[in-house]
Amino acid sequence: MALKKYKPTTPGQRFKVISTYDEITADVPEKSLLAPSKRSGGRNNEGRMTMRYLGGGHKQMYRIIDFKRDKENIPAVVKTIEYDPNRTSRIALVVYADGEKRYIVAPHGLKVGQTILAGKGVAPEIGNTLYLSEVPFGTVIHNVELRPGQGAKMVRSAGAHAQLMSRDGKFAILKMPSGETRMILQTCKATIGMVSNIDHSLESYGKAGRTRWLGRRPRNRGVTMNPVDHPMGGGEGKASGGQPRSRKGVPSKGYKTRARKNQSNKYIIERRKK
């Protein structure tokens, strides 16, 4: 997972830093695991823009990812490591002993030809999926379930990892990537290792066009708008916009938006670091 820095031969190349894609072993995805992915361009069913700053972008197909890892105790061999335009991490095509093919989120260090397993009594090795009741203390994990059998919901982006700190009764205590410490049922599953493409946060697109290829249009700040358009708009010259807030007037710095009576509060031991 190395980065490539370009020489400033053009303005767009001057600050460009992207992945070398050395770990990718296949250019063509598995056709049976593709699904159409339609873009709305930020428009509703009447064609009116309801979400700003969306539109354009390269045509993409969705790769169906196995987040449940419910084929237990059936060995699967890693066939390829591939690029996925829908997520920051790499994905791996695995072929099970019964011939079924599935995509999984590729952990850092997973190699082609490696055999992975899921289920009870599985060794805590990279790519294997275990129940939290069987994961050794201090192990780095990703693709963590929030509810048993639901499929992985947390720790799925590039370079992310959680750590199993301890167990308390029927709960496992995890340190999340945000710094939050929370309890999750030991009957939930998690995959060993950290998510691949760990240098993703160090990439620099170098030009606005690369962001347009992702389907994101230019976004202007609230202080540059007129008072009719934004609470922070107006003023002479570069006058600041007062208290930072959203277009709807909701404060954006230091203002808590989480419900105080949220049901999951009782599972959070320590809140994330600000």
- Does 244 map to a domain? no
- Does 224 map to a domain? no
Q: Give the structural domain span for 63.
A: 23-45+55-201+263-270
Give the tens place of pLDDT for each residue, 3-28. 999 999 999 999 999 999 999 999 99
**Three-class SS of residue 209?**
helix
- 273 — pLDDT class (breaks 50, 70, 90): confident
> By the 8 A CB rule, do 42 and 55 touch?
yes
- Does 78 map to a domain? yes
| R_g over Cα of the chain | 22
- For residue 238, which amino acid is it? K
- Give the range among 50-59, 67-76, 155-164, 237-246 with minimum mean pLDDT: 237-246
Whether pTM exceeds 0.75: yes
| % pLDDT > 70, the chain | 99
- Does 39 map to a domain? yes
Provide the pLDDT for residue 218.
96
| Count of structural domains within the chain | 1
With vertex at residue 102, the alpha carbon angle to CA 194 and CA 27, rounded to the nearest 5 degrees, is 80
CA dist 167 to 134, 175, 271, Å?
11, 12, 18
Provide the pLDDT for residue 1.
63
- Does 148 map to a domain? yes
| CATH code, domain with 62 | 2.40.50.140
Identify the bridge partners of residue 97 per DSSP, sorted by sequence position: none
Q: How many CA atoms lie within 13 A of 107 on its CB side?
A: 24
Burial class, 261, CB count within 10 angstroms (exposed 0-12 / middle 13-18 / buried 19+): exposed
- Written as one string, the DSSP assignment of 54-121 is B------EEE-B--S---TT--EEEEEEE--TTSSS-EEEEEETTS-EEEEEPBTT--TT-EE-BSTT
- The backbone torsions φ and ψ at residue 144, rounded to the nearest 5 degrees and listed phi first, read -90, 135
Provide the pLDDT for residue 36.
97
- Does 128 map to a domain? yes
Provide the pLDDT for residue 272.
87
Q: How far apart are CA 71 and CA 128, in angstroms?
A: 12
Provide the pLDDT for residue 214.
95
- Does 85 map to a domain? yes
- Does 63 map to a domain? yes
Q: How far apart are CA 267 and CA 167, in angstroms?
A: 13
